Structure 1
Amino acid sequence: MSGGTEPDGSSKSDEEWEQFLRESVAGAADAPKEPSARARAVTRRLREQPDTAPAGWRTYTPARPRRRTGWYAVGLLASLVLLVVALAPGWVTDLFAGADSPPQAAETARPADAPPTQAARRPTEDEPFRGSPAARWANGAAGISVPKAEAVGGTGAAEVERALDRSRDFLVASSLDRGVLRGEHPEKAIALINPHQKDVQDLLRTAFRSPSEKNDPLLLFSRFQPSRVDLVGEVVKTRGRLTYEEGERGALQVTADVTFVYPVTRAGAGGDGEDSGDGEIVRTIVRRELVLSWDDPDKVRTEPGTFSIVSYKYDMTNGGCGTPTGYFDPPFGTGRATDGDGARIDPYDRSTPVGRSESTADECGRATRS
């Protein structure tokens, strides 16, 4: 007798029945499984957005390559700037050497070379030193470097300091004083000169009354005739220095080597016609070398607070080359082309000694630049 029957009346063996029970408990390999909550969420999203394929949660999308056009442009611009600096360093220097540029460091010794050539830029009323090395020079007395005072020979440090200060005072009174520049008598400057020095006193007595090659006030003083010339602005650019050493008979000897740059225009000028000189700005440039002796009153006849002049030299360009009148006479317009028949001079080159003196005053040099 059988132990049981199938619906169709077929029977199962004991081995088949036992296998069926094991698979029911463990689950068949091809039995359907309940989907997880994540799988149901993904299925639902696909149904709602059938045209959008979501990125897998473990997938990787490479970043888009960045375009480097900006860096290439910066590199090209830098290359162009370097090329301009290499080919035209003077133009670059002049471009940044405007009114707001810091002044050049003070001169403490004779330079080895002339300053570099600037770009050819015409001066203006607002920038009368444009296109000139003087654009970075100091203003007025600030451009005259004074060394530290120390005792020398029989002169103490305090006396040396006083002599240096008064030597600079003479340069200010003779070549920077606004009244003197406009033609006034240089009384303050003359008061510092030893009144017992006969040759210099003879020069002073005749120079202002009857100027000549030998007795010309321009040998010691800077003056312009106000009826012919107007100063441009209130600034005179200067560069130079004082030095000192022991002189003869116990004196202290001070040497001044200073360049003065005076921007001027024709008196009452209006407009900017280059041929006529109206509105044209010319820079008269004067480099002076003075050797002053602060004498020992026990050995030399002098007065307290005064010095004797040992020598005076000067180079001048754009100051006129005609018969001495006691004033600088800058050339304007077409006159500039014929002014100066002597050697060509770079008025900004301070690397060589001053060449003009009382013995060579008949030469009138032409400036290579102004």
Structure 2
Amino acid sequence: MPHGDDLDQRFTDVVGQIGPEQQREMSAAAKRGARASRRAMNTEPEPLRREPEWDQPEPPRRRTSAAWWAGAVLSVVILVGWVVVEFRPDLVPFTGVVPEETTAVRGPVKENGASDAAVSDSAEPFKGSPAEKWPTGAAGFVMPPAEAVGGLSKQDVARGLARTRKLLTGAYLDRKMMMGGRPTAFTRQLHPEQRANFRKEGAATWLPIFAPKTAEFASTMIKVKGRTTISEYKEDGRTGARLSTRYLIAYAIQRPGQADSAIRLVAEHEGAVTVFRQDGELVIWADRWGADIAPARCDVDDDYIHPMYADSPADLTVPNGKAADPYELDDTPDDGECQAVEGT
């Protein structure tokens, strides 16, 4: 029985025999199969000991950027079979014009995904942008005062708000996770039954994770702006609170080891967390969860973020609709999969 490198080599040899067109067809078939599987799993639930009702987390809206620091750019978050990607991302036959923005790393890489020369606490990467004046880190995930709603007490809603804030920080401030590390800070906040769905779907379908070797952080500073609103939740006999979340998160990234390639990248998160009681238990459920990313490629289908740098090859996907402002929290999204943005 082959072990270690022998198995890897055999897998690589098999993949190498598959032509680009066949790879695209296989990827598309896997994508359709994954969607069909998710639809089958998302049947209407019954009370207790079966999965509470939830909407499948929508993959982030793809965007294109009409202007970057120096050139046209695109953004993306897309879908691929999660099992292979999670355990052997280096063996996935990517589809699209560029598999990775792979470059030589000039210096040791830290655990948080940045080389010694790159990491800094300076706000300089955000100077001159709207994000310069935003709160830094978790301070930007501001929660409203708790209030009794939908039959829940003020204390119940307060617990829901606290959990929502931890979900947001685990999703968007965990730099190790974004570079491929374990998403523990996020998953420990999910309802136990929802964690099973998370494992089936794969981390990259829920969370902003960079494709291997495409990026490192150029600064430890992450800027955040947004809001959470409380409304009554009433569905299928349940009542409680819906916590609607909308935030912008700005990062400074660069190619591994190349400080001169530094760019700003903005994630636009939109989601909802429902809070209700079921058989006496307080359930806190991530109803919707996802983000739009700019600037990143629209023509690579693997769920990961592929940043679009100033000198990246042109994207093959044509953007839809008019250009949006990535720093505008209330900008109306376009229905297309790849939308133009004015710049980051």
Listed as ranges, the matches of 1:38-53 within 5 Å are none
Kindly name which structure, 1 or 2, has the bigger radius of gyration based on alpha carbons: 1
Displacement after TM superposition at 1:243 (Å): 0.9
AA partner of residue 244 (structure 2): T
- Structure-1 residue corresponding to 2:226: 240
Going from structure 1 to structure 2, the CA distance change for 1:255 and 1:354 (only over 3 Å counts) comes to: farther
Contact persistence 2:298–2:315 (CA under 8 A): no
Displacement after TM superposition at 1:298 (Å): 1.7
In the alignment, does 2:244 pair up with 1:255? yes
CA RMSD of aligned residues (A): 2.8
Number of residue pairs the alignment of both structures matches: 222
Q: 1:351 aligns with which of 318, 330, 333?
A: 330
Contact persistence 2:69–2:310 (CA under 8 A): no
Give TM-score, length-normalised by structure 1.
0.54
In the alignment, does 2:283 pair up with 1:312? no
Matches of 1:228 and 1:313 in 2, distance apart? Answer: 21
Q: 2:301 aligns with which of 303, 316, 324?
A: 324
Structure ranking higher on relative contact order (CA contacts 8 Å, 6+ apart): 2
Q: 1:280 aligns with which of 258, 261, 272?
A: 261
Contact persistence 2:299–2:315 (CA under 8 A): no
Q: 1:267 aligns with which of 223, 233, 256?
A: 256
Q: Unaligned regions of 5+ residues in structure 1, if any?
A: 1-119, 209-216, 271-278
In the alignment, does 2:124 pair up with 1:143? no
Matches of 1:263 and 1:298 in 2, distance apart? Answer: 46
AA partner of residue 312 (structure 1): W
Displacement after TM superposition at 1:351 (Å): 2.4
Displacement after TM superposition at 1:328 (Å): 1.2
Displacement after TM superposition at 1:193 (Å): 2.2
Displacement after TM superposition at 1:185 (Å): 2.3
Contact persistence 1:318–1:330 (CA under 8 A): yes
Q: 1:193 aligns with which of 190, 193, 196?
A: 190
In the alignment, does 2:305 pair up with 1:291? no
- Structure-2 residue corresponding to 1:223: 209
Question: Secondary structure at the residue paired with 1:205?
Answer: helix
Question: Secondary structure at the residue paired with 2:248?
Answer: strand
Matches of 2:172 and 2:334 in 1, distance apart? Answer: 19
Matches of 1:267 and 1:172 in 2, distance apart? Answer: 24
Question: Secondary structure at the residue paired with 2:258?
Answer: coil
Going from structure 1 to structure 2, the CA distance change for 1:324 and 1:185 (only over 3 Å counts) comes to: farther
Report sequence identity in percent: 26
AA partner of residue 328 (structure 2): D
Contact persistence 1:121–1:130 (CA under 8 A): no
Question: Secondary structure at the residue paired with 1:307?
Answer: strand
Relative to its length, the structure with more strand (as a share) is: 2
Contact persistence 1:331–1:339 (CA under 8 A): no
Question: Secondary structure at the residue paired with 2:168?
Answer: helix
Matches of 1:310 and 1:321 in 2, distance apart? Answer: 26
- Structure-2 residue corresponding to 1:368: 342
Q: 2:125 aligns with which of 102, 118, 128?
A: 128
- Structure-1 residue corresponding to 2:151: 154
- Structure-2 residue corresponding to 1:205: 200
Matches of 1:316 and 1:195 in 2, distance apart? Answer: 28
- Structure-1 residue corresponding to 2:88: none
Contact persistence 1:290–1:313 (CA under 8 A): yes
Matches of 1:222 and 1:150 in 2, distance apart? Answer: 31
Matches of 1:189 and 1:233 in 2, distance apart? Answer: 22
Question: Secondary structure at the residue paired with 2:311?
Answer: helix
Contact persistence 1:121–1:131 (CA under 8 A): no
Going from structure 1 to structure 2, the CA distance change for 1:354 and 1:292 (only over 3 Å counts) comes to: farther
Matches of 1:164 and 1:355 in 2, distance apart? Answer: 29
Give TM-score, length-normalised by structure 2.
0.58
In the alignment, does 2:332 pair up with 1:335? no
- Structure-2 residue corresponding to 1:83: none
